Chain A
């Protein structure tokens, strides 16, 4: 039997009283160890809410999240659980601005029993791993966006978590830097076998992963395993306006009409 790192059972989250919003509506998902998963979907589809539930930042209205075989409803101290099991990567400015790169990486380690010198050592090791050996003593304000995100990734790895959760981690980066960061994530995923769940709007990011889960209205719309970049592009195309047009045979541009049958065939495969 496969060991799942993340399982959700009928996960439901309802916000608001009176005017109810079902942010998550009976979501069932499993993520196996070492997977690199992208969660996509329009804003308000529930992907960030899912991330908060998996990250033990919020409790569901009903249903259950199981991390590493532990149901979160049974965990008393969510703070401690978070610090030991989960690594977060947020948008760029979520580093502590008054701390240097190295000190930022050490922040999660304060809640462990590591000594000061061990902490320094581990932070430096992680920063070298993400390719920031040179500039670890700078404040975030003096770093580029990519460098800051590398620090954030190193910080997420600090306590050797089972899962890394990333929310729009490339939201503020240019496409060149996005590529670099993605390369780093895939490399870390391959080398360290860390499970990663990335919430994103960015198709480039989704393309770099092996599995894309699409959310719509608090439900899983599709959950597709991807074997190649070609498939990923096709999937992307299929979900676009043009792709929908091709599938429905309505409003297809003149130049493409000739190859519509072949395209439909390709779409059906993914």
Chain B
């Protein structure tokens, strides 16, 4: 009986199935990719051969740390340590791979063991490189080929495989080569240690941390701040998944609710012949569960398909390798069933509440207009809105469902806009005209711009001034993400930090901190603060209105370079011009002259920063998902509305309305529905952003900016959704034959 009922409305069943399936597919694919990425990254730092990883205590992730390479010999002296290997972690932006990871390893060290060669030789001398299996495929290189990286040429001597996709998509070179390539002369990113007796790891760890308070020794696989980060990635995937499920679930409820309304009379008969309420509930719930189960299975297939599809592109595969676990699939099925239960419960309850006599008298509802419309006709212009109000529950469920999707997009794009704005202000500090970035860095956190370039740029004709900036993440008790800026006290950049109290930094042990940081840390002028194990005296408190800056602190450029192992290196450089109107041509000229830099107008800088490109990609995926799920939900609602009004459409055709006019009518309704959903979405989105900013620690960095672009995006989305959702139902409506439509019961 359940299957027959579902079969009765094939199109609707199919659309609902698709809605659920897309949601579940998103959950499956996203959690597979999230799992794949996180576990790949974790494995990189959890090599089986190393027992401990020693890095800078305050570095947010091990690969962002920098430790003197003279420390290796000292570490070797620590009791219980057997072997020590310094490693350099580099990340490069290449055309074929936006995040290309290059490891610098001592060829004789134990850490080399994990790169299992599948062809060629190990590294023996300088300018040699090993490529991962995926990288070789991606760059179309083999043993003997040459490989260009950061303006140097290397010879590929071997191809390796580790089974960790990030490593297999990257490369390995000698430690000294890597130090030179990544401007880390005299430094390593971290040390991998092997202890003599595995049972005494904790003692060794304690000894190291006691001897060097600025270092942290982490056990391989030990939960660190790094894994905390990946937990965040994982939960982000889950978050998008939940959102897809919510939208799909509301679509589900809509379908079941409609099928209950449609069959009011039948349900009345069932009750009249003696069915108990419970049996009616079971019938309706059963339909919804079967539907969601089928949708879930289909979704799992689509999800698996998506993860397999990725394997076709080696560039993507090295970054995103989906890992599907049985738990994940079970989880997806549970989610689908939950959807069915949630979506079916209310309709089932509604069905059980029907009084048999009244239900049998029910006229199918097509002639009814609903209480709201009846009373408010005067105030509701146009039949589109009135038609939507005819089925207030359905319209509401649709609007909320799509509104949720749009809401997430609004929230995320507002945050992204806010971040871009903050970032531009930050980089445009001191009214810079141009921003100079490291051309080879795929991430600002690993950018290392040569300071000598800055000095050369300063002497160019047309350049009025240059500001050097260094930006690093650190932490302080009470502020897990404390951004440290290095600024030259003699340059304009420092003036950007408007002093609220005290004075500007002058000496190496001076620090000014942001107003928000001062409040969080409960520190005032004259007090001291420890960063990376070094004490600084607070000489000033500033406020810029940019949350990154106000939660951070500023020390002198020289001090910052020394502290973060960035000797003579910069993160960013600002350029002031004599004639700001010449900015664009000047940017091109500088780029041509210095190949190691990218130069952007301050306002356009974020477009060329990989971090923001990544964010855009995530947003794009979310928009696509909303379009798919929302479009299906929308189409379903419109299709139901058209079928319900078959007779009315017949009348319109009989009195001479052309097909085109019928199509127009349905499209207008669909657009009205999507517009209302978009409005709802904007509301939900604003609420969500407000909620996000309340999240401790991360919240302070989030600032929503509702630029016209956000609203344009939403308007475009609504337009597309309305059109997708309305086109097919409109076409179906226009194909109805007048006499048949008139005869339709």
Q: Quick check: B390 and A80 within 8 Å, CB to CB?
A: no
Q: Please, which residues of chain B bring their CB within 8 A of the CB of A5?
A: none
Contacts of B738 in A (CB 8 A): 57
Which of B248-256, B339-347, B515-523, B644-652 is the interface stretch? B644-652
Q: Which residues of B contact A55 (CB under 8 A)?
A: 654
Q: Is B377 an interface residue (CB 8 A)?
A: yes
A96-B658 contact given A57-B739, A58-B739, A139-B373, CB 8 Å threshold: no
For A100, give the chain B residue with the smallest CB separation: B377
- In the complex, whether B143 has a CB less than 8 A from a CB of chain A is no
Output the residue of A90, A98, A139, A140 with the most chain B CB within 10 A. Answer: A98
Q: Which of A82, A84, A88, A96 has the most CB of B within 10 A?
A: A96
A96-B383, A107-B652 given as contacts; is B657 within 8 A of A142 (CB)? Answer: no
B661: interface (CB < 8 Å): yes
CB within 8 A of B373: which of A52, A57, A83, A98? A98
Inter-subunit contact B369/A90 (CB<8 Å): no
B624-661: which residues lie under 8 A (CB-CB) from chain A?
647-648, 651-659, 661
Given A96-B383, A110-B661: A139 and B656 within 8 A (CB)?
Answer: no
Q: From B367, B654, B659, B742, give the contact of A82 (CB < 8 A).
A: B654
Q: Is A111 an interface residue, CB under 8 A from the partner?
A: yes
Out of A80, A141, A142, name the residue touching B656 (CB < 8 Å): A80
- State how many angstroms separate the Cβ of A48 from the closest Cβ of chain B: 9
Residues of B within 8 A of A103 (CB): 383
Q: Please, which residue of chain A has its CB at the minimum distance from the CB of B738?
A: A57
Instruction: Decide yes or no: A97 and B377 within 8 Å by CB, A79-B656, A110-B661 being known contacts.
Output: no
Say how far B736's CB is from chain A's closest CB, in angstroms.
Answer: 12
Residues from chain B with a CB closer than 8 A to the CB of A99 are 383, 386
Q: Is the CB of A141 within 8 A of B742?
A: no
When each residue 252-279 of chain B gets 1 if its CB lies under 8 Å from chain A and 0 otherwise, what string results? 0000000000000000000000000000
Q: Considering the complex, which residues of chain B in the window 360-385 have a beta carbon less than 8 Å from any beta carbon of chain A? A: 366-369, 373-374, 377-378, 383
Min CB gap B739→A, angstroms:
5
CB of B655 within 8 A of CB of A98, answer: no
**Residue from A84, A96, A159 within 8 A of B648 (CB atoms):** A96
**B387 interface residue (CB < 8 Å to A):** yes
CB of B515 to closest CB in A, whole Å: 58
Contacts A98-B369, A107-B652 given: A142-B658 contact, CB under 8 Å? no
A139 vs B370: C-alpha distance when bound (angstroms): 11
Residues of A within 8 A of B651 (CB): 88, 90, 94-96
Q: A58-B739, A96-B648, A139-B374 are in contact. Are A108 and B367 (CB under 8 A)?
A: no
Which chain A residues lie closer than 8 Å to B653 at the CB level?
Answer: 79
B654 close to A139 (CB less than 8 A): no
Given contacts A94-B647, A139-B373, A139-B377, contact A52 B739 (CB under 8 A): yes
Known contacts A57-B739, A99-B383; A155/B655 CB under 8 A: yes
Q: Kindly list chain A residues whose C-beta atoms are within 8 Å of the C-beta of B648.
A: 94, 96-97
Q: How far is the CB of B663 from chain A (nearest CB, A)?
A: 13
Query: Could you say which of A55, A57, A58 has the most chain B C-beta atoms within 10 Å of its C-beta?
Result: A57
Interface size class of B (residues with CB under 8 A): 20 to 34
For residue B378, give the distance in angstroms from its CB to the closest CB of chain A.
Answer: 8
* Nearest-neighbor residue (CB-CB) of A155 within chain B: B655
> Which single residue of chain A is at the shortest CB-CB distance from B387?
A98
Chain B residues contacting A100 (CB-CB under 8 Å) are 377
Q: Are B368 and A84 in contact (CB under 8 A)?
A: no
Report Cα–Cα, A98/B368, bound state, in Å: 9
Say which residue of B368, B652, B661, B739 sits within 8 Å of A96 (CB atoms). B652
**Pair B655/A107 contact, Cβ less than 8 Å:** yes
* Residue among B369, B387, B390 with max Cβ neighbours from chain A (10 Å): B369
Q: For residue A52, which residue of chain B has the nearest CB?
A: B739
A93: interface (CB < 8 Å): yes
Give, as a whole number of angstroms, the nearest-CB distance from A152 to chain B. 9
In the complex, the answer to whether B739 meets A141 with C-beta atoms within 8 Å is no
B383 to chain A, nearest CB (A): 5
B657–A110 touching, CB < 8 Å? yes
CB proximity of B737 to chain A, nearest CB, Å: 8
**Across the interface, do A111 and B661 meet the contact criterion of CB distance under 8 Å?**
yes
Q: Which residues of B contact A81 (CB under 8 A)?
A: 656
Against B, the Cβ 8 Å flags (1 = close, 0 = not) of A2-44 are 0000000000000000000000000000000000000000000
Complex Cα–Cα for A139 and B373 (A): 9
Q: B-facing mask of A159-174, CB < 8 A → 1, else 0? A: 1000000000000000
Residues on A with C-beta less than 8 A from B369 are 97-98, 139, 141
Pairwise interchain contact A79-B387, C-beta atoms closer than 8 A: no
The distance in angstroms between the C-alpha atoms of A110 and B661, with both chains bound, is 9
A139–B369 CA distance with the chains assembled, in angstroms: 9
B726, chain A: closest CB distance, angstroms? 17
Tell me, in angstroms, the Cα distance from A158 to B657 when the chains sit together: 13
B657–A111 CB distance below 8 A: yes
Least Cβ–Cβ distance between B390 and chain A, in angstroms: 6
B661 smallest CB distance to A (angstroms): 6
Output the residue of A82, A97, A99 with the most chain B CB within 10 A.
A97
Which residues of B (719-745) have their CB < 8 Å from a CB of A? 738-739, 742
**Complex CA–CA separation, A88 to B659 (angstroms):** 18
Known: A99-B383, A108-B656. A142 touches B374 (CB 8 A): yes
Q: Which of B687-745 contact A (CB under 8 A)?
A: 738-739, 742
**C-alpha gap A100/B390 in the complex (Å):** 14
Residues of B within 8 A of A111 (CB): 656-658, 661
A88 pairs with B655, CB closer than 8 A: yes
- Using A96-B648, A97-B368 as known contacts, say yes or no to A84 and B656 having CB atoms under 8 A apart: yes
Q: B377 → chain A, closest Cβ, in Å? A: 5
> Which residues from chain A contact B386 at a C-beta distance below 8 Å?
98-99
- Residues in chain B near residue A93, CB distance under 8 A: 367, 647
Among B367, B374, B658, B742, point to the contact of A80 (Cβ < 8 A): B658
Chain A residues lying within 8 Å of B377, measured Cβ to Cβ, are 100, 139
B658 touches A79 (CB 8 A): yes
- In chain B, what residue has the closest Cβ to A85? B656
With a cutoff of 8 Å between Cβ atoms, the chain B residues found around residue A88 in the complex are 651, 654-655
In the complex, what distance in Å separates the CA atom of A84 from the CA atom of B657? 11
Tell me whether B655 and A108 are in contact (CB under 8 A).
yes
A residues in contact with B655, CB < 8 Å: 82-83, 88, 107-108, 155, 158
Instruction: Tell me, in angstroms, the Cα distance from A107 to B387 when the chains sit together.
Output: 15
Chain A, Cβ-Cβ closest to B385: A98
Residue of A nearest to B380 (CB): A98
Question: What's the minimum C-beta distance from B665 to chain A, rounded to whole angstroms?
Answer: 10
* Bound CA–CA A54/B68 (angstroms): 97
A52 CA / B743 CA spacing, docked (Å): 12
Kindly list chain A residues whose C-beta atoms are within 8 Å of the C-beta of B742.
57, 90, 94
A25 CB to nearest B CB, Å? 19
The distance from the CB of B389 to the nearest CB of chain A, in whole angstroms, is: 8
Which B residues between 28 and 43 are near A, CB-CB below 8 angstroms?
none
- Cα A141 to Cα B373 in complex, Å, equals 10
Write the nearest CB–CB distance from B551 to chain A, whole angstroms. 55
List residues of chain B with CB within 8 A of the CB of A139.
369, 373-374, 377
A82 touches B656 (CB 8 A): yes
On chain B, the residues within 8 Å of A57 by CB distance are: 654, 738-739, 742
Task: Collect the chain B residues with CB atoms within 8 Å of residue A79's CB.
Answer: 653, 656-659
- Enumerate 26 A-B pairs (CB-CB under 8 Å) in ascending A order: A55-B654, A57-B654, A79-B657, A79-B658, A82-B655, A83-B655, A88-B654, A90-B742, A95-B651, A96-B648, A97-B367, A97-B369, A97-B648, A98-B387, A98-B390, A99-B386, A107-B652, A107-B655, A108-B655, A108-B656, A110-B657, A111-B656, A111-B657, A111-B658, A139-B377, A141-B374
Which B residues form the contact surface with A (CB < 8 A)?
A: 366-369, 373-374, 377-378, 383, 386-387, 390, 647-648, 651-659, 661, 738-739, 742
Q: A90-B742, A96-B383, A107-B655 are in contact. List 15 more A-B contacts (CB 8 A).
A: A57-B739, A81-B656, A88-B654, A88-B655, A90-B651, A93-B647, A94-B647, A97-B368, A97-B390, A98-B383, A107-B657, A108-B657, A139-B369, A141-B369, A158-B655
Q: Which 5 A-B pairs have the closest CB atoms?
A: A83-B656, A98-B386, A108-B655, A82-B656, A97-B369
